[in-house]
Structure 1
Amino acid sequence: MPVKVSVIVPVYNPGPYIEDCVDSLLRQSLPPDEFEAVFVDDGSTDGTPARLDALAAEHPHFRVIHQENSGWSGKPRNVGIAASTGEFVMFVDNDDYLGDEALERMYEYGVANGADVIVGKMAGKGRPVPVELFRRNHPHATVENTPLIDSLTPHKMLRRAFLDRIGLRFPEGRRRLEDHVFVAEAYLRADNVSVLSDYVCYYHVKRDDGSNAGFQRFEPVGYFKNLREALDVVERYTEPGPVRDRLYRRWLRQEMVERMRGRRLLKLPEDYRKELFDEIRTVVVERFGPGVAPGLAPAQRIVAALIAADRFDDVVAYARWESGVAPKAAPSTVAWADGALRIDFSAEFASGGEPMTFPADGAPAALDGPPKDVAEAIALLGADTASRFDKATVDLMLRERSSAAQFFQPVEFTREIVPTGDSDSGRVRLVLRATATVDPATASSGAPLGAGLWDAYIRVKLGGWTKECRLGPGPWPGSVVGHAGVVAGRVVLPYWTKPHGGLALDVDRAGKRLGLGALGAADITAEGDRFRASLPLYVPGDTKALLRLTSPATGTAVEATGTLSADQGSGTVLEALLPTGTLQGATWRPALSLTPDADEARFLTLPLALRGAADGVHLVLPPHPGVVQLLARRTRRTVRRVVGAALGKMAPTLKARLRKKA
């Protein structure tokens, strides 16, 4: 069969970090005869060359090309393009990895939409990735109708014929931002670009040792020389006007202004801050016309104005103030209703840990030039934020802890202006009150939530800021929030994390925390062939369960299908018919599977036993845990008295040792 996709992996001394990449390629749902992996070893000096040769010998669809070190990723990628035979090429870095269905989904999506470029949803493991771009699928995306320009890393799938037709290749040599030059031109010259957002295709990983090339401090003059080449691409393929200004704004915002803000600036050495500032200012003055900066958020526009005016000290002072600004999101109610988890919360910004206040009569900031000082900048920003409160938004995202995959959840919210306690101050708080709905059946962009731990994050857009925070703290860190829900074939347990109390969801992993181990005589009945238990769970409707009875004496297991139904009170009732004839004359330990149709049904042991008899099944409950603990304490005291009397006249050191063991 013809090769659909050639995966090109530039490789240089990845060590063990390449293993996740390799494993993800071996797990692809696209059949091995429909794709190839081309590893281009750029003069690695570790054990990687031998490792790759062994892989190629074992897997016919893996190929390895060895070359002398070229200094950066551009040449290896170009060599991979030249060697590829696929209809599309996909670029993957050697320390990142793909989702298991990434190649198949991206290829089919691209073919269906006639795309020259396919952008797959990314998850950042310790690294930032675009958020707004991946809110939904964009089958026909352009730099005008979507924030495509926010994603300039090379980790895309591109039609090989398109690259050859326009002669597009990566800049080579030891340099930065070669991917910006390549991807920007691809966006601007493609017949169509498609964005696939309902499946995480690419996992962008920060190494544990922080040795990724993108995390190394760069030399400002060379870096911004390379950045100018990306701006040249935009100038070459766009006309002067709003589109060009919008594209330029991406580099002004991300590569310049954001480097001069808050903690990101303050953590840099002082001499390096100034060197970076000077080079940024040169580019700002040289390359950006009057239509670029006004489209920035107000907080960014202030920094851009201070940069253009050569006000380095004020940029640093403003960064110190802004480093204390952060959103806070307080949960109020977390409860199951109509098959979904409803989460009520409020969100606002804080400064120095206290709620921020704003002028009640705010007005849009007129920034014809830089503010005269930082105090004026803060006042301008506060007034502007209050005037734009009608455009403030809030989102709730679920982020899977191990993979960093994240998905937006439906949110309804209102904006509330809250007067401060001092009625004469003329100041107010700007509060967003929201209700998010998490449906486990659709929470992953229309698909069910996968097994794992999911943290709730709040994303607040208010005035000049777009920032994220955890939802919390909750009232009791480390505790569960109400009952677990058995919904859409998942067991979803809301809980507050330790030690900070952020809201999280445990999906199909919780065992003891479900509370089934605390069942007692009041919760369970067994009469004849009927078994009934009241369980601390939520179910939206009748749901199948599976009861497995195991004989401790023989290891024999018997299974009975049961039904979970919502109780009239709170919780759920489990009912099952037992095969009494099979159970007669033996003791059985029951375990319950709440999701019997899962690929691997998990069974949770119940704190009881059943005894089969001629007249049916009888319940055997263990002693209450408090009784067991009391008996254990009395036993220990008795043992100590007996041992103490027996020791008699032994040496004190030996007596102390024996007492400790007793």
Structure 2
Amino acid sequence: MQKTSETPLVSLVIPVYNAMPYLRETLDALPAQGLDDSQLEVVLVNDGSDDGSETLLAEYASRHANYRLIDQPNSGGPADPCNKGIAAVRGKYFFVLGADDVLTEGALGDLAAYAEKEGSDIVLAKMAGLNGRHAPSSMFRRTVADADIVEDKLYNSLTAIKLFRTDLVAETGAHNPTHLRVGSDQPFTLACYLVAKKISVRADRDFVLIRKREDGKNVTSSARSAWDYAQLLTANIDVIVKFSAPGELRDGILRRPIRGALRKALHPRFLQLDEQKQEAVVAEIAAAVTPVYTEAVAAHLGPLEQVKTRLALDGRTSLLRRLLTWEKGGGKERLTHDATGFHLDLPEDLAQEIDGELLRGVPVTGMVRLEELAVEGAQVRLAGSARVKGCDVPPDAVQLRARKRGTEDWFDVSGSEVREVVRGGDRALEFRADVDAAPLEKGVWDLSVVHRYGSEELVNRLGRLRSQDIAERRHRLLDGTGRKELGLVYFTEGFGNVSLDIGHTLLPRSGPDARVLTAVSIEPDRRLVLLAAEGADRLRASVHADEAATGGRTVPLVPVGEGLTALSLDGDGGPRWVKVEDGTGHVVLAIPAAVSVPHTPGGGSMLSAAADGGKRTMRAAARRLGVRRPGR
């Protein structure tokens, strides 16, 4: 639909069933949306309310020419009023809002302007919870103009609380299935996602406040059965198959119904159904999941979930019922390891009836945790722990691995002070390891933990899980003199794993590229400190008594040659640290003990000669001291 002078830019759809007293706050927020009456259409669908919502809707609709009210008998669920409202919209874009939720100031105008600027078909709007309501967050870590459904985890937000280009509905035939008692907007949103050419995410502020009702009557909070979830599973998979081809995209999007509706259908709530309905649930799951159940899709599930799913796909309802009865009675998913490898640890009577290959073919998740981290010069000293999630057996051995990113170069560091500990209820090995960064080649080196169980080896990146005592900050790596910066130890963006950037190949320096070359006594009570530093006119220096570099006093820097800078200090008992700053940050450098050199031939000091432009004198002195210019 192309916007014309006769069509609004945005249509807001609000399905309503007994939403008092929250409805008034929802409606009162609409005039502040940054859109005038010609740009905003409000479609109110009263689904047979009888708590006063119907009266309030009629009042607001009578006061605003751009509001339309659709009255209908109660349909029994949220799907029908959503469909009726969406079918009635005339705007270029539409947005569906819960009758107890609230738009923040300027939200619709902001989202529509963004869609117009970016050419977006869908714009996801960051939400926040009211009254303790959980708001989805995994897809709102950053604003993204052109988001990927899988990589940006858009599948975790399948409500219709977002801005849609209205033409998507005609292109897909998308609708909210009225037979679904749970998640009826999920197939609708999936269809729109899969045909949209561009989906954007706005995460820079809260646009919608979603409410947990004090009376507990949120549509999403009512009890659901295993049959309800089995029907939702089928509806979602049908849409995904219709609008996607087999491959990575389909397998990735299937994560949502597989980890959502399928797991909830195969929950102990399954036992609340009579046996005939249980058979219907198993048949529904088998029909929907079997055609799409690739290895990649199975990997979305944990070990016990994979076993339950396979029993359902094979139609083994009786054994599935027994397994769920064990789980309901307190049975927990646990792995063990023996000569045959890892396998799911189940009671003997159940294990004997389940194919051994199925029990041994379960996924194994390695877990490593950074316990301590310290950087001293070029030494990276750390402690870590390693385990398998849900496993009763600790590793046989553990070591640290450093791998140069983008290459096949790597080396291992054996763990020391290895001891068995408990982490997350699992048996683990804790260890210490040191990495010497001084001999490392230029590049980014990623740290991982290798933990071995018999002949099996697991490798997991280190750092994402870490002690709360470890701050996520960068650490400078210095050479043995403490004067040259080798690189940085840092936590990677997003995942937060530990890496070493040697030579600043990825990260800029945290301050100027400066280092102390030497200090010389030039007069009985004077020292000259010689630094290798480019662009002395852009640098500032201060001297300090300790490495904390607080307080101190500013000193002038004097260029004395190409890449060489000097500063003058009081006698040898004065400051021991110099802080050199530029626009990128600062470095704090140790000042070594001064050595003595003769005065210049004219009787003046080298500092005076430098200040007077005697660069050759200073360079000669530097040569006598064995100092080489940077780059030589």
The answer for unaligned runs of 5 or more in structure 1 is 326-355, 395-412, 440-458, 462-539, 542-662
AA matched with 1:77? C
Query: Could you tell me which of 21, 25, 32 is aligned with 2:26?
Result: 21
The answer to whether structure 1 residue 285 and structure 2 residue 286 are counterparts is yes
Call closer, same or farther: CA 1:255–1:82 in 2, change over 3 Å: closer
The answer as to whether partners of 2:172 and 2:192 remain within 8 angstroms in 1 is: no
Partner of 1:11: 16
Alignment of 1:322-333 (within 5 A): none
AA matched with 1:199? R
The answer to whether structure 1 residue 311 and structure 2 residue 320 are counterparts is yes
Partner of 1:238: 244
Q: Shift of the alpha carbon at 1:230?
A: 2.4
Call closer, same or farther: CA 1:115–1:56 in 2, change over 3 Å: same
Alignment of 1:342-353 (within 5 A): none
Equivalent-residue separation in structure 2 for 1:269 and 1:144 (angstroms): 30
What secondary structure sits across from 1:40 in the alignment? strand
Equivalent-residue separation in structure 1 for 2:298 and 2:52 (angstroms): 48
Equivalent-residue separation in structure 2 for 1:414 and 1:115 (angstroms): 47
AA matched with 1:207? R
Partner of 2:122: 117
Equivalent-residue separation in structure 1 for 2:38 and 2:470 (angstroms): 44
Partner of 1:444: none
The answer as to whether partners of 2:233 and 2:288 remain within 8 angstroms in 1 is: no
Call closer, same or farther: CA 1:362–1:164 in 2, change over 3 Å: farther
The answer to whether structure 1 residue 131 and structure 2 residue 137 are counterparts is yes
What secondary structure sits across from 2:215 in the alignment? coil
AA matched with 1:247? I
Partner of 1:164: 170
Partner of 1:255: 261
The answer to whether structure 1 residue 428 and structure 2 residue 434 are counterparts is no
The answer as to whether partners of 2:230 and 2:281 remain within 8 angstroms in 1 is: yes
Q: Shift of the alpha carbon at 1:437?
A: 6.8
The answer for unaligned runs of 5 or more in structure 2 is 372-381, 387-417, 431-464, 474-493, 497-549, 552-632
Equivalent-residue separation in structure 1 for 2:337 and 2:163 (angstroms): 50
Call closer, same or farther: CA 1:77–1:6 in 2, change over 3 Å: same
Which structure has the greater CA radius of gyration?
A: 2
Partner of 1:442: none
Partner of 2:63: 58
C-alpha offsets along residues 29-55 of structure 1, whole Å, 9 cap, x if unaligned? 445553232211122223112111212
Q: Shift of the alpha carbon at 1:132?
A: 1.9
C-alpha offsets along residues 255-288 of structure 1, whole Å, 9 cap, x if unaligned? 1214555xxx4xx595349788655433332222
Call closer, same or farther: CA 1:98–1:301 in 2, change over 3 Å: farther
Q: Shift of the alpha carbon at 1:218?
A: 3.7
What TM-score, normalized to structure 1?
A: 0.49
Partner of 2:627: none
The answer as to whether partners of 2:120 and 2:199 remain within 8 angstroms in 1 is: yes
The answer as to whether partners of 1:119 and 1:194 remain within 8 angstroms in 2 is: yes
Call closer, same or farther: CA 1:97–1:286 in 2, change over 3 Å: same
Partner of 2:204: 198
- Give the aligned CA root-mean-square deviation in angstroms: 4.6
Alignment of 1:218-229 (within 5 A): 218=224, 220-221=226-227, 224-229=230-235
Equivalent-residue separation in structure 2 for 1:29 and 1:414 (angstroms): 54
Greater fraction helix:
1
Query: Could you tell me which of 78, 85, 99 is aligned with 2:83?
Result: 78
Equivalent-residue separation in structure 2 for 1:69 and 1:14 (angstroms): 13
Alignment of 1:138-537 (within 5 A): 138-172=144-178, 176-218=182-224, 220-221=226-227, 224-258=230-264, 260=266, 265=268, 271-272=272-273, 278-289=279-290, 290-291=293-294, 292-298=297-303, 300-305=305-310, 308=313, 310-318=319-327, 321=330, 365=342, 388-390=366-368, 415-417=384-386, 419-420=419-420, 427-428=427-428, 432-434=466-468
Equivalent-residue separation in structure 1 for 2:302 and 2:232 (angstroms): 26
AA matched with 1:62? Y
C-alpha offsets along residues 185-218 of structure 1, whole Å, 9 cap, x if unaligned? 1011111111222222233323222222332234
User: Matched residues, percent identical?
Assistant: 27
Partner of 1:90: 95
What TM-score, normalized to structure 2?
A: 0.51
The answer to whether structure 1 residue 34 and structure 2 residue 39 are counterparts is yes
Q: Shift of the alpha carbon at 1:118?
A: 1.4
Residues matched between the structures, number = 383
Call closer, same or farther: CA 1:370–1:43 in 2, change over 3 Å: same
The answer as to whether partners of 2:343 and 2:360 remain within 8 angstroms in 1 is: no
The answer as to whether partners of 1:362 and 1:385 remain within 8 angstroms in 2 is: no
What secondary structure sits across from 1:133 in the alignment? coil
